[in-house]
Each structure stands twice: as structure tokens, then as C-alpha cells.
Structure 1
């Protein structure tokens, strides 16, 4: 392959490394040393994660956790453009400002669909193991270059703005990787088997409704714990969906899989662990209540979960 997933991680690591350098030299940040160290360690895991033994990667993650736990992570100063200058630029660029943001989803879809089987010589253009992720990375790079041309910015501006966004996200930047690992650990540890045993003891084996109810609510709760429905699905599928709904009651596996993920997404709306959806928007919008997004979403999540339970019950019954 020509453009691999590893290259995308390396580019992310390079950006993160320069962000850490700016943080180290930010005299206005009283926590610049531990803050810079946090982002430097994160950059190292992205740059060399493929060659660093997992044990040492785990130690680095624990070091990052310690920095956050002891209050070492703090936002810096960015010396950005003033309000008047930003307003002047906004009027000059107009709707062209939205072009970089629009390019990312459009190019990601086009790349993942149209370029997945494209070869240059005998080598595939995109990594076949995850063409969508590679297409997303390439789309982001093109969007950055487009933004630089539109605003006539220097490359340094890209790193400075990346640092501003990275520090706005803060500790939540490492949550996706950590939660994905947690889901793998739960699956390897046989949590699904434990869940199956509890279901057998607590719920009547022939009660379709209560099995569906526990399954959907369990998907939502495990998603709230793990922050990701994809991490919760293997546990709940192994514990309830496969042995009870599919094998015992003959439910359609495709329908169960789709609806179970839908139930999991209800949990996503109600947890700070789903940082990309709930904590990051609050940070980027500089909301005083960091859980405001979650509070607004809870009623919708509960109603959607109830609807999902009823629909799955009707399809299985």
C-alpha cells in the first residue's frame, strides 16, 4: 500500500509534537512543563506506537494519567488575532470559510468509496485494512492546505491553531484509544459470559420482553461506561444477544445488531466518557457547564431507548 494507517498516525504525532514544543515555551502557562510533557508523551505514542512494546506504552499512558490527576494539565496563551481582526477576515472570506470543513466529509466519502481498489503499479493506494480512516486523514490534510491558501497563513499558524484545539480538548484526547482498549479487555476477560450467567439467574428464560429490556438497557449502560457502543457491543452480544435472542428465539441477527448499536448510542448521549460527542463540543464552545450538552440530550436519549426496546421486542416476538 502507498498510504497506510501508520502514516496517518505519524502525521498526527508530528503535529502533536510541535504542539508540545509550543507549550513548553509558553511562559504564560504556569504548568507549561507538565502540560508540554503530557502532549509530548502522546506524540511519542502516535509516532512510535507500532514499535514500542505494549508494556512501555502502558507506562506512558499511566504517566499521562498522573499528570492530569495532579493538576499538571493547563491551557496556555495563544496570542491569536483580536476580535476586530477576526471579524475583518470573516467579512473578506465570506462563505469560503466553510470550504475546508465541507471538504473533510466529502473527500472522506469519495476516497473511501472510489479509491479503495485503486492501484499504482502493483500497490494499493489506500490501506485496505482501514481505507475510511486513511481517506479521512488525507481529507484533513487537504482541508488544512486549503485553509492555509484561503487565509494566506504560514505553516506555523497551522501548528499554533492545532495546539489551541488540542489544549481545548485536553485530557479527553486520549479517551478514544483508552476506551477501545477497555472494550478489548472486557471481552478477553469473559465479561460477556458473566453477564449471560446473571441473566439466566435473574430473568425468566422464556420472557422475551425482559431479555430485550435488559439487553438494550445493558447496551446503553456499558456504552456509558466505555464511552463507545462499538466497545460495548461484543460484551453484550456474547452475553445476551447470541445465546438468548438469536439462538434461543431465532431473532434476525442483522436486526439485533443494528438495534443494539442504536441502544448503545442512547448511552453515548448521556455520558462524559463519550468525550468526542459531549465533552469536546462543550470545551470548544467554552461552556461554563461542561455537562450542559449531556443534560440537554438526556430526555431524547431516554425516549429513544424506550422506542428501541419496544421495536426490538416486536421484531423478536
Structure 2
């Protein structure tokens, strides 16, 4: 809702009311979506698609001048990345060691949502660290984040939408079809062949869908659980983790992952719209090979 209010007041955006309506509808869905009738939620999703199709526009106001940004970059150097590192480090700390901590009988983090709560706290800590480092106010940080979201636009929702699409595919039986297809093509009793099918399938399906969250339920239901876990005795937790990493290798190599590979090229005004992908292929392929080796040697009991 903050994005909607601030977007409506951004006079530098000629489509500020469209932008405000988009974020307001999305905010309402997050706040009270579970209490709304399914028909209303469906209509809201259609409205989001129509608004995105019209174009949300971009504001032209600068929170910080370009000259000050350049000066800060020269002064702080790589220290500017330190606040961003707070987010994954603190989230990992909560997920591994602090999730069950209690103080006076009260849990610090909710039992079923400890990682999500830890992520939220980590973002606040990162904001505080960034303000301390740059000597800027929290309001500047919030406004800068709004401008970044405006620049990304509707593509910021792609991970959420693609994860939902993956669940729909899994519920519609696509996973079973994948399982039958793979069983007919590869020898099921060959552990290496099944590992290759799962890891390469995660990468390939991610390239098609644009996000590993969409590929994961389909490939895991079709290959991971029936063939690797149930038939070959693989550990489900480690298999899922490495399987997701294999999918992320596909994310690095596809234009379908627009929010990762196409939007940054547009923001950086690169001459080659696929320049980000070309630079990432050299990392993605060796990393995929490492994931295959890890999967083969680690996940089996």
C-alpha cells in the first residue's frame, strides 16, 4: 500500500494512477485475499494483468542525485555491499540456530514461519546497516526501494506467479506424465541416469518456465520422489536443496527469467539485451555439473 500511495504522488510518472492502482490491488490481495470470495480474487488478478499490459510507467524523480551516488560509490567502494550481505547471513542464522530459541517461555520466532520472520528482521537490520554506513535516513532507504520497484515494475511478481504456476502444473498431473516419460526413456535402476534426468530436467524445465520454483514441484513429483527417494533411497531434504540449485542454473541461462536477466539489462541500458545471459552461461554450466556430482555422492543414504 505504501507503493500505491507514494506512486500516486510521483508527479514524474505520467501513468502514476495506473501504477498506484496496480500496487493497491496487489496490497489488498496480500492483506485480505483469504477473506475475499474466489471470484473477486480472480477479477483482481485479471485487473492486475490488464494494468500491467497498459504499462505502469516510471517516475523521473531522483531520491539522491547522480553526482552524490557517484561520490558515495567512490568513497565507500565494496563496503556498499555489506548491508546486503546481512540479509542472507541473518536469515541463515535464524533458520539453522535461532528458530527454536525461547526467552521466558516465549519463542523468538514463530515455529512454522521462522525463516520468513527471520528474513523480515534481516531486511530491517540491513536497512539499519545501510543507514549507518551512508549516514542517510531510513526514509531515504524506503524511497529508494520504491524507485527500484518502480523500475522493475510488474516483473517483480514473476517469482510468485511462476511458483503458483508450478503448483497448478503439479496438481494437474504434469508430474505423473513426466514420470511416465522418463521411466520409458531411461533405465530406472541406474542411479546415475536418474540423477542426470532430475538435475538436467530441473535446469531445462526452469529455462522453459523462467523460474526454479515453477519447475520444482513438477520435476520432484515426477522424478525426485518416485524414482530417487522411494526407489533409490535418496534423502529428500538434501535432494530438494541440490535440485533447486540445479534449477537456478537454468535461471541463469534463459530470457524467460525476465526479472533476473532482462530487466537488469534494461536498467543498465546494455546494448545487448541478452548480455546478462551470455555472461552467466560460463558460470551456470560448471555449476550444474557440480550439482550433479553433489547429488550423486551426497543424497543417497
1:62 to 46, 57, 66: 46
Matches of 2:201 and 2:66 in 1, distance apart? 47
Unaligned runs of 5+ in 2: none
Alignment of 1:1-317 (within 5 A): 17-70=1-54, 72-89=55-72, 97-203=80-186, 211-248=194-231, 250=232, 252-253=234-235, 256-257=239-240, 259-275=242-258, 277-279=260-262, 281-305=264-288
Normalized against structure 1, the TM-score is what?
Answer: 0.76
How many residue pairs get aligned? The number is 298
**Distance in structure 2 (CA, Å) of the matches to 1:306 and 1:226:** 21
**Corresponding residue for residue 11 of structure 1:** none
Question: Structure 1 stretch 160-169 or stretch 82-91: which is displaced more?
Answer: 82-91
Q: Distance in 1 between matches of 2:153 and 2:37?
A: 25
Deviations 1:29-50 (A, max 9, x none): 2222212222222222333344
Quote the offset at 1:18 in angstroms: 2.4
Q: Does the 8 A contact of 2:159 with 2:213 survive in 1?
A: no
Contact 1:270–1:294 under 8 Å retained in 2? yes
Q: Secondary structure at the match of 1:236?
A: helix
Q: CA deviation at 1:191?
A: 1.2
Q: Secondary structure at the match of 2:35?
A: coil
CA RMSD of aligned residues (A): 3.4
Distance change (3 Å), C-alpha of 1:243 and 1:85? closer
User: 2: CA distance between counterparts of 1:112 and 1:256?
Assistant: 18
Question: Distance between the aligned counterparts of 2:61 and 2:246, measured in 1?
Answer: 41
Contact 1:278 1:294 in 2 (8 A): yes
CA distance in 2, matches of 1:113, 1:135: 11
Select between 154-163 and 188-197 the one with higher mean Cα deviation: 154-163
Q: For 1:155 and 1:259, how far apart are their aligned partners in 2?
A: 37
**Post-superposition shift, 1:314?**
8.6
Larger deviation, residues 129-138 vs 263-272: 263-272
Deviations 1:91-119 (A, max 9, x none): 67677645533433333333444432233
**Quick one: structure 1 residues 50 and 78, their matched pair in 2 at CA, closer, same or farther if it must change by over 3 Å?**
farther
Aligned-partner Cα distance in 2 for 1:281–1:18: 24
Q: Report the TM-score when normalising by structure 2.
A: 0.80
SS in 1 for 2:112: coil
